[in-house]
Amino acid sequence: MIVSGYDTETTGLKWVDGHRIIEVGLLHYDFDTRKPVDKFVTRIDPERAIDAKAQAVHGIAYDDLVGMPKWVDVAPKLVEELNKSDLIVMHNGGFDAPFTNGELKRLGLHVKPDLIGFCTLTHARWATPDGKSPRLGELCFALNLPYDPSLAHGAEYDVERMMACFFAGVERGFYKPDNDWTIFAAWPERSE
């Protein structure tokens, strides 16, 4: 089974407000061996300004994206890569999947209809003392895994840390799929 970690960085919070994806990180793993088998990571020229609040979070300036491929060129390859997966793991899938779907829909593209998504944010309330959904750093802390805040919010780094948490959660029994990840969630259709 191929399980893939996925993360995005964006120009702002809502694609319906014209915000765009500026970085994708998709890392494929063999579920049985927990070893990486492939990856698709790229920055994208959004052809628009980046919201100051978003830039404060991820630290990516528009100048960093000059000369990067445009979404129209990245999107078909991203769909191809997403469709290789049996399960997509995200930390805040309620943001990443609908944002991605909205951006794909703009170009008339869609992921396969049976793509399954799992959110380590939603399914990890056990990781915080007050039962709130944990930030990625908090999830790493709860699982005694390293996390460097200075590297956070880079799509590839976040996916690597998230997948370490996902596999640790599976091994420790926090995530119990019973060989049917559909009990958790489908890849969300869209969000306004």
Q: What is the pLDDT along the chain (192 residues), one digit of tens a residue?
A: 999 999 999 999 888 888 999 999 999 999 999 999 999 999 999 999 999 998 988 989 999 999 999 999 999 999 999 999 999 999 998 889 989 999 999 999 999 888 888 899 988 999 999 999 999 999 999 999 999 999 998 999 999 999 999 999 999 999 876 554 544 444 555 443
pTM recorded for the entire structure:
0.90
Cα 169 to chain center, whole Å?
Answer: 17
The three-state (H, E, C) secondary structure of 92-121, written as one string: CHHHHHHHHHHHHHHCCCCCCCCCEEEECC
Instruction: Note the CATH number of domain 2-183.
Output: 3.30.420.10
Domain boundaries defined on the chain: 2-183
Give the burial string for 153-187 (b: 16+ CB within 10 Å, else e): bbbbbbbbbbbbbbbbbeeeebbeeeeebeebbeb
